[in-house]
Amino acid sequence: MNQNRKIDFEQFSAVLFDLDGVLTATAKLHAICWKQMFDNYLQQKFLSTGVAFQPFDIDLDYRHYVDGKLRYEGVKSFLQSRGIELPYGSPENDPEEETVCGLGNRKNQLVGEMLAAGHVGVFEGSIKLVHYLREKKIRMAVVSASKNCEAILNAAGIAELFEERIDGKVAETYGLPGKPEPATFLKAAELLAVEPQKSVVIEDAIAGVQAGKKGGFGLVIGVDRHDDAAALRENGADLVVSDLSELLPQ
């Protein structure tokens, strides 16, 4: 598909938005929390084992191993990249437990503290597009790996703009695998009663555009927030924009 930004959204029945980095400017917040959690853990690992401390790299590690994935899958993926194996544990693990779930819960605790402090912003171009789609009676859902999705939507004041929400908690309830598998997007389309081929997926994460492509969605739009437009195209984006306002009619 060419890179023409003049999209006739009315040929589609639904638009499925990722949250962090697409609607809300919380991707940086999450990246900071991931780095704080992993750096603390890796420093403890150095003190107990002598393994050289190599800090979590937001530019590389976050994008390649964590961004767009369910929290515990992100923990497992990053640890594997460092050759570290931990018991998986369970979601009920205390944040201090040295398990995959325990580390994931440590990160979630940090996010909660930052949300409580009011660190949530939105991308104005994205919200303008959402209001435009509402005027056109196009159905919309948010599809996010975050278990904090509902809290973030509420904190940003945009929860009421979407009919459905498939987030980390809902995915867990349904037993859905996270991105790059398309299951969460497919569930959102199902709940909106629309066919994937008549739905648009909008994502800023490589795992997200991979999911959109794999799910057979009618159009996959990548939002280039990390200077990786080429990677988004290579992994499934039919179109890449730097801001969703580019998709609005002039």
146/134 Cα distance (integer angstroms): 24
Active-site residue, selected from the candidate residues 8, 20, 61, 94 = 20
57 tagged catalytic? no
Residues near 52 by beta carbon (within 8 Å), at least 6 away in sequence:
46
Q: What is the DSSP string of 85-127?
A: ------TT--TTSSSHHHHHHHHHHHHHHHHHTT---B-HHHH
**C-alpha closest to that of 192 among 141, 244, 151:** 141
185/179 Cα distance (integer angstroms): 9
Active-site residue, selected from the candidate residues 18, 67, 204, 224 = 18
18 tagged catalytic? yes
Give whole-number Cα distances, 206 to 16, 140, 179, 234, in Å: 16, 21, 9, 9
Tell me which residues are annotated as active site: 18, 20
